[in-house]
C-alpha cells in the first residue's frame, strides 16, 4: 500500500502536459498528504483559451508563485477611529487612553461619557462604575467588537459602545 502511494506521488509530480484535467484531478484526489495534495491542485492550470487542453506544473513552479509578505497598513490617527472599525475596514489599536471631559447618566442609569478627544461612549448595562471629570481611563478592545472602559485606580470595568 505504501509503495502504491509513493509511486502515485511520483506520478503526480511528473505528469506531462498531455494529461487531461480530469485525470490530473483524480491523481490529486488520491494524494494522502494534505500539503502535497494542495500543491497538486495548485499546479493544475486550465487554459481557458484552448478549452480542453490543460497543463500540470511541477512543485517547484507551484512554490515559485507563492506571494511575498504583505506589508501591514499603519495609520497615525488611531484615536479618532477607535470603536468605529465595524464601519471601516481597518483595525488600528487595541487600547487607547482618554481623559474624561464630562459624564451623565441616562434614564436607565447607563453612564454616558464624553472624553477630551471628542469621542462619546455609552455604557451597556447599569453596573456601578466610579468616574470623575479629569480622570484618565483606558478603553480596551474585547472580543466580538466589544469595548471595555477601565481605570488604573480600581479593578472595575464596564462594557461600553461608541456613540460618536
> In order of start, what are the domains of the chain with their CATH numbers?
2-64 (no CATH), 85-162 (2.40.50)
Return the half-sphere exposure (C-beta side, CA atoms, 13 A cut-off) of residue 45: 14
Range of lowest pLDDT (49-53, 76-80, 130-134, 160-164):
49-53
Residue 46 phi, psi dihedral angles, 5° rounding: -90, 125
Distance separating alpha carbons of residues 68 and 84, to the nearest angstrom? 30
pLDDT given for residue 99 in this prediction: 93
Distance separating alpha carbons of residues 98 and 96, to the nearest angstrom? 6
pLDDT at 160 > cutoff 90? yes
> Between residues 3 and 109, which one has the greater pLDDT?
109
pLDDT given for residue 66 in this prediction: 47
pLDDT given for residue 70 in this prediction: 52
On the 0-12 / 13-18 / 19+ scale of CB atoms within 10 A, 130 is exposed
pLDDT at 137 > cutoff 70? yes
pLDDT at 86 > cutoff 80? no
Give the global pTM: 0.43
Return the half-sphere exposure (C-beta side, CA atoms, 13 A cut-off) of residue 146: 10
Q: Which of the listed ranges 18-32, 55-69, 91-105, 122-136 does the model predict with the highest average pLDDT? A: 122-136
- Helix, strand counts (H, E) of the chain: 4, 8
Name residue 123's beta-bridge partners: 160
Amino acid at each position: 500500500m505504501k509503495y502504491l502511494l509513493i509511486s502515485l506521488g511520483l506520478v503526480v509530480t511528473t505528469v506531462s502536459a498531455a494529461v487531461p484535467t480530469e485525470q490530473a484531478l483524480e491523481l490529486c484526489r488520491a494524494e494522502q498528504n494534505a500539503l502535497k495534495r494542495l500543491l497538486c491542485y495548485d499546479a493544475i492550470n486550465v487554459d481557458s483559451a484552448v478549452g480542453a487542453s490543460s497543463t500540470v506544473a511541477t512543485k517547484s513552479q507551484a512554490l515559485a508563485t507563492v506571494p511575498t509578505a504583505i506589508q501591514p497598513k499603519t495609520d497615525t490617527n488611531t484615536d479618532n477611529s477607535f470603536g468605529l472599525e465595524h464601519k471601516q475596514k481597518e483595525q488600528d489599536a487595541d487600547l487607547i487612553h482618554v481623559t474624561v471631559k464630562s459624564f451623565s447618566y441616562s434614564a436607565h442609569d447607563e453612564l454616558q461619557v464624553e472624553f477630551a478627544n471628542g469621542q462619546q461612549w455609552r455604557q451597556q448595562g447599569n453596573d456601578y462604575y466610579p468616574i470623575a471629570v479629569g480622570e484618565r481611563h483606558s478603553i480596551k478592545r474585547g472580543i466580538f467588537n466589544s469595548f471595555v472602559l477601565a481605570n488604573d485606580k480600581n479593578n472595575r470595568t464596564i462594557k461600553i459602545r461608541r456613540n460618536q
